[in-house]
């Protein structure tokens, strides 16, 4: 539904026959928004993810990180209440992943959208989240809820950041023992 935007981990989520602008405008087109308005909105979202200069580029001309930024812009274009993200940075190299985490934090600051973010990366969870739900395997149940009350922007090398990582790893280790 239009109350939620979704970003997946694989890059195949973009339409290869549409430009970045066309991909971002797609949901608005399906909603029946007039062309001028949907293109203006799409360009605004591309600006938010720092890709306005690539509005005319096709997905195969964009790096993996750029494709994910287009996917984020597309998910935000029709102003959903919640943004669902399923390991969207898992397929990226370490440097691009770090850059994307910082970008997502900036997007959150600008939009204040509720983001439900699935990740197996403990540092990523601490960097992005206000609350982390630690899940158990088979069956998936919530084993712990950890609040992260660190100021933003977060410093991944701070003692407090590392303490939160250690706390989460403790929950994960205990989870495996049960």
Cα–Cα distance, 24 to 175 (Å, whole number): 40
* pTM assigned to the model: 0.87
Checking if the pLDDT of 3 tops 60, the result is yes
Integer angstrom CA distances of residue 71 from 21, 151, 163? 11, 27, 33
Confidence label for 137 from pLDDT (cuts 50, 70 and 90): confident
Checking if the pLDDT of 178 tops 60, the result is no
* Angle (CA) 125 127 128, round 5°: 70
- pLDDT at position 2, please? 64
Checking if the pLDDT of 176 tops 80, the result is no
Cα–Cα distance, 134 to 58 (Å, whole number): 38
Checking if the pLDDT of 122 tops 90, the result is yes
- pLDDT at position 13, please? 85
Checking if the pLDDT of 132 tops 80, the result is yes
* Percent of the chain scoring above 70 in pLDDT: 96
Task: Quick: pLDDT tens for 62-117.
Answer: 999 999 999 999 999 988 999 999 999 988 889 999 999 999 999 999 999 999 99
Among 46, 4, 47, smallest CA distance to 21 is for: 46
Confidence label for 9 from pLDDT (cuts 50, 70 and 90): confident
CA dihedral 92, 48, 51, 77 (to 10 degrees): 90
Checking if the pLDDT of 30 tops 80, the result is yes
Arithmetic mean of pLDDT, 145-154: 94
Checking if the pLDDT of 52 tops 90, the result is yes
Phi, psi of 3 (to 5 degrees): -85, -5
Checking if the pLDDT of 129 tops 50, the result is yes
């Amino acid at each position: 539904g239009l109350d939620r935007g979704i970003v997946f981990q694989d890059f195949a989520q973009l339409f290869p026959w549409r430009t970045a602008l066309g991909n971002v405008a797609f949901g608005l087109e399906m909603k029946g928004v007039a062309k001028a308005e949907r293109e203006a909105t799409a360009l605004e979202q591309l600006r938010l993810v720092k890709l306005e200069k690539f509005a005319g580029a096709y997905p195969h001309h964009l790096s993996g990180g750029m494709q994910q930024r287009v996917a984020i812009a597309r998910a935000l274009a029709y102003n959903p209440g919640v943004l669902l993200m399923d390991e969207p940075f898992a397929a990226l190299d370490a440097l691009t992943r770090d850059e994307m985490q910082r970008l997502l934090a900036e997007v959150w600051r600008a939009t204040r959208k509720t983001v439900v973010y699935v990740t197996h990366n403990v540092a990523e969870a601490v960097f992005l989240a206000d609350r982390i739900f630690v899940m158990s395997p088979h069956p998936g149940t919530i084993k712990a809820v950890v609040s992260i009350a660190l100021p933003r922007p977060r410093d991944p090398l701070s003692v407090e950041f590392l303490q939160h990582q250690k706390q989460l790893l403790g929950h994960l280790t205990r989870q495996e023992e049960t």
